[in-house]
Chains A and B, each alone.
Chain A
Amino acid sequence: MKTDRWRQIEQLYHEAREREPGERDRFLREACADETVRAEVESLLGCESQAEGYLETPALEVTAEALAEGRERSMFGRMLGRYEIVGFLGAGGMGEVYRARDSSIARDVAVKVLPPGIAADPERLRLFEQEARAAGGINHPNILTIYDVGVQDGAPYVVYELLEGTTLRDVLRKGALSRRKALEYARQIAYGLAAAHDAGITHRDLKPENLFITRDGRVKILDFGLAKLTLREASTERDTSEAASSSQNGAGSVLGTPGYMAPEQLRGGIVDHRSDLFNLGAVLFEMLTGRRPFRGSSTSEILEAVLNDDPLEIGETGGEVDPALARLLRRCLEKNPNERIQSALDLGFDLEGFLLPYQETPRARWKKPAIGMAFAAAVLSLVLLFAIRKLESMQSDRGPRFRRLTYRAGVITGARFAPDGQSVIYSAAWDGRPVEAFTTRIGGPETRPLGLPSTGVLAVSSAGELAVSLGCELNWAECRGTLARMPLAGGAPREVLQDVYYADWSPDGKNLAVVRAVDGRFRLEYPIGRVLYEAAGWITHPRLSPKGDRIAFLDHPTLGENDGSVSVVDLSGHKTTLSTAWKNLKGLAWSPGGDEVWFSADRMTRSQFVYAVTLSGRERLVLQAPGWMRLQEISRDGRVLLLQASPRGRIMCEAAGAAAERDLSWFDWSTAAGLSADGKKLLFYEWGEGVAGNPTVYLRDTAGGDAIRLGEGRALALSPDGKFALALQKGPPPTLVLLPTGPGEEKRLATSGLKEYYSATWFPGGKRILFVAAGADAQPRSYIQDIDGGTARAIGDETMQAVLVSPDERLLAGIGSDGGYVLRSIDGGETRPIRGALPGDDLIQWSADGRFLYMRAPGDSPLDFFRVNLATGRREPWKRIDAGDPVGLIGIQPAAVYMTPDGKSYAYSYWKTLTELYLVDNLK
């Protein structure tokens, strides 16, 4: 109940508030004798500055925001059909987009989850599927490829190719683009639209948010066909036309950003493909000038301008004026669709004209190759050449003779002879750039690009036609993309089939055999559409026999694993296995007579030789040489194309005070496992050929010097005092061991019946370790174990997998039951989310003062480190590192990135491979 005292406080508060801050003290002293009342008023006045804005956000919004954050976390790990959500990518006009793993073929995809509203209405759901499938049917490099659609828990989702890059909106945030880029992007968009319009599909909501620029500069149009649904979705929430014409506050939210839409779209008139051209005109205008063509200070003013005013002239915005280009833009932005430019194809051609001055002629490119030579690769190859020479001299004159065909640094994805046998066509990602197709003449130094960016070479027909992989995405140095055929003599590629992994021509050059995945299962088709073999695992390297009566291929029982058999299937689908129990199988070709199938593989891990097997199953070794020898093709006269690959696991490290990163890799397959607190020692292990496949732990000064072998196992963590390395030995049973870094004995820790280990770290005091492991029930749990004896003790329930211990040993950080990062007291109790950390981030280190967690954002290059302030949840950028040498980079090794608690030193591991192409004569 209101007391007098409270009433007095209230009155004094308001009266004091009305006075200048400097006068308030005096006023209170004079007006109030009661000191406790005065103190109360002063304390309230003291809060005033902070109260501005307090509680102004309604509770519903506060809760919804918290829910929004929570939902991002809770999606992590969920299954949508056969797709497992592994990360959050962003959110757009039609729903949230997640990174997901396609469990059936172990590839990463993007999944867009749409609002559940759509699925509630069967008619709309049907429309959604129909639209998505129609859009998925458009096969064009400038249109996002849709793999699949489905509905889960009432929410429809669309599965599409995972792209790396950024939206045009993000690009435009930095201002206008160069004229050349703007025109180039517009050209690609125009051609994408042309393909869609051709198929009778309009976009209806083209805008910078819906245009994606991939890393290699290709534009992909997103959300085709979904716009119609967006509008339907919107119209159930409010009346569309009314919102568009009158509302100032939310129209943009449902209808897309005004200023890109054509007048007929705003009026609710007939919308057709020409509306898309208006949209594109507005986008091009913005790319050129950084401004939108119609201006206004509010939504309604902008809408008004689109309906009634002429667009701004490019010149008005301060950009350079090209009358012809200004005219083209005006033609796109005509209010009356009949007076507008009429076709996307025409627009594309017009833009092409503007781009001509920028284009390098193929001839000009011709002269360059010698400059592009990379000498790093040459050094490596010298070693090989030396070895090969030695091999040559030991054999008779009739032994194999190697001729090197490529000299640049990077990865070659495939190579084939040209029909004349005198040239070789190959595709390679040189110098860290996207894959491109080249041709080189045997014996001549000249290499010529075929002018096909992002294209991998799959096969060359006897009739001189190429089968290529457009939009090649690299996966361990091989391409997957859209199969297209094109004449070697020149001409545009003609797309045949999406998502093709391998292809080969029939001997007459008329038909193609392909390997692709349909509904998650790999199948071999010949001709396309006729399934000869469907695999439980996957299929690689199909090759038609010289007579064309059967296809040899590599048959891998486990997805993603290279183990398997060499098989042939005849044209009626009858399969025979010729040779089995191989490891590292890659590359296959028929001998010229068709009596043998040659292939690259080994029966050990991590090496690759060339073997042959007859159709009756007799095996022989053809070539044993240093490095991995990957068979590409055998010509009719018996010459062999081989790739020599040298995949390596590398460690890069920058220690506190060092001037630069240092390569601390030791043998061929190095993986970092920890840094000492002062950044002076690096713990790592080797698990490649250098140690014959037996994982071995090493310690090395980060300033360089020789690595010291500590013992067997996979290294997990270095003790805080640097005296022990914690490592895991394979067993059975797998056992944690302590390997002394100085004198002393190896010590085994009690195994406690655990079968699988996931992560391990030391307590800062150095007396205990924390690790995540699973026993017979395969449920990962967190354990604490004293290093001086005793068994592992599971901590708490299963709500969290703890991976880091705070410096005061009171808190644990790890992954919560919903996949998000959480903190918890070491004594148990509730977990609480770590704000600022998102699923997909890597938890790296606790800062020495306990206030921050160092994390790494997902992605291969650059490595983005940030630190999360545990008190505020603020995510502060910490370091950005370009991963080593991008040439031949395959990926950052998971869970092999380390930072010291002072944030000053770091180390990480990545995989890379370099390949060179050889022509081998006399190989028998």
Chain B
Amino acid sequence: MTAPSPPGVTQLLKAWGNGEQQALDQLIPLVYTELHRLAHRYMQRERSAHLLQPTALVHEAYERLVNLKDVSWQNRAHFFGVSAQLMRRILVDYARSRRYSKRGGEWRQVPLNEAVAVFRDRRTDIVALDDALHTLAGIDPRKSSVVEMRFFGGLSIKEVAEVLKVSQETVLRDWRLARVWLLRELSKGTADED
């Protein structure tokens, strides 16, 4: 189904997971390539609604980045976790550099008449979210990880459960509470941040 992932992603991920920081330099361009590929597709989709199924595309991109075929079964969970961290790190840096992030909470103001869904949080402030996640990690590290894996890593509830070795029900509960907590935190942030 999917094409082979770029050579060496898994090795690089392993290396990075083992603390080799140079591996990151090689991983970043790979993630960026996917990012640009996706962005290109979005530009197409914006203008011809029927063209693409975004979820499938993103899924494909994640799969390409984290190809787990050649990772032994035992290591699978570990790599899910590592790749989510990696994505978080790269995307947050990227958001910082591009200054796409605005003050939080803007996602609520996306007009309701957008055809796609009730709303799409396309304007999620990734930098602010990252800060809030750090705060959440101080209170409840597992919930922070759940968000990291779901939002940054693109993992399903089932996959997150596999990584954390807890039940899917627990992940779902964590995910629910973490979201309202973050949401409230970020809308607070608009008022008192610089």
A binding-site residues for B, Cβ under 8 Å? 1-3, 6, 10, 13-14, 17, 43-48, 50-68, 70-72, 90-93, 95-96, 115, 169, 209, 236-239, 242-243, 247, 249-250, 252-253, 257, 830, 832, 871-872, 874
Q: Is the CB of A58 within 8 A of B154?
A: yes
Q: Quick check: which of B12-20, B94-102, B160-168 contacts chain A, the rest being far away?
A: B94-102
Q: Is the CB of B179 within 8 A of A54?
A: yes
Given A51-B183, A68-B46, A238-B3; 10 other pairs, CB 8 A cutoff: A1-B139, A43-B184, A44-B184, A47-B183, A47-B184, A54-B182, A58-B62, A60-B35, A250-B52, A874-B111
Which residue from B46, B62, B91, B182 sits with its C-beta under 8 Å from A63?
B91
How long is the Cα–Cα vector from A50 to B124 in the complex, in angstroms?
13
B177 to chain A, nearest CB (A): 6
Give the total of B residues in contact with A, Cβ under 8 Å: 70
Which residue from A55, A61, A830 sits with its C-beta under 8 Å from B182?
A55
Determine the residue in chain B with the shortest Cβ distance to A58: B154
Q: Is the CB of A53 within 8 A of B117?
A: yes
A755 to chain B, nearest CB (A): 34
Q: Is the CB of B51 within 8 A of A71?
A: no
Q: Is the CB of B56 within 8 A of A250?
A: yes
In the complex with contacts A2-B139, A56-B121, A252-B35 CB distance below 8 A? no
Chain A residues with CB below 8 A from B111, complex form: 872, 874
Chain B 68-113 interface residues, beta-carbon cutoff 8 Å to A? 87-88, 91, 94-95, 98-100, 102, 107-111
Which secondary structure dominates where chain B touches chain A?
helix
| B12-51 to A contact mask, C-beta < 8 Å, 1/0 | 0000000000000000000000111011111110111011
How long is the Cα–Cα vector from A46 to B55 in the complex, in angstroms?
29
Q: Is the CB of A55 within 8 A of B139?
A: no
Determine the residue in chain B with the shortest Cβ distance to A299: B53
How long is the Cα–Cα vector from A57 to B57 in the complex, in angstroms?
12
B52 to chain A, nearest CB (A): 5
How long is the Cα–Cα vector from A830 to B58 in the complex, in angstroms?
32
Chain A residues with CB below 8 A from B46, complex form: 68, 91
Which residue from B88, B99, B140, B179 sits with its C-beta under 8 Å from A2?
B140
| Interface Cβ pair total, 8 Å cutoff | 175
Q: Is the CB of A57 within 8 A of B91?
A: no
Chain A residues with CB below 8 A from B36, complex form: 64, 67
Chain A residues with CB below 8 A from B126, complex form: 59, 62-63
How long is the Cα–Cα vector from A322 to B14 in the complex, in angstroms?
67
Chain B 112-151 interface residues, beta-carbon cutoff 8 Å to A? 117-124, 126, 129, 138-140, 147, 150-151
In the complex with contacts A6-B140, A92-B44, A871-B109, A48-B180 CB distance below 8 A? yes
Which secondary structure dominates where chain A touches chain B?
helix
Chain B residues with CB below 8 A from A60, complex form: 34-35, 38, 58, 61-62, 87, 91, 154
Q: Is the CB of A68 within 8 A of B39?
A: yes
Q: Is the CB of B183 within 8 A of A54?
A: yes
How long is the Cα–Cα vector from A809 to B110 in the complex, in angstroms?
27
Chain B residues with CB below 8 A from A51, complex form: 176, 179-180, 183
How long is the Cα–Cα vector from A53 to B112 in the complex, in angstroms?
13
Determine the residue in chain A with the shortest Cβ distance to B113: A874
Asked if B6 is an interface residue, CB under 8 A from chain A, the answer is no
A687 to chain B, nearest CB (A): 40
Q: Is the CB of A252 within 8 A of B44?
A: no
Q: Is the CB of B181 within 8 A of A92?
A: no
A113 to chain B, nearest CB (A): 10
Q: Is the CB of B183 within 8 A of A252?
A: no
Q: Is the CB of A252 within 8 A of B50?
A: yes
Q: Is the CB of A209 within 8 A of B48?
A: yes
Q: Is the CB of A55 within 8 A of B34?
A: no
Q: Is the CB of A66 within 8 A of B43?
A: no
Asked if B1 is an interface residue, CB under 8 A from chain A, the answer is yes
How long is the Cα–Cα vector from A46 to B95 in the complex, in angstroms?
29
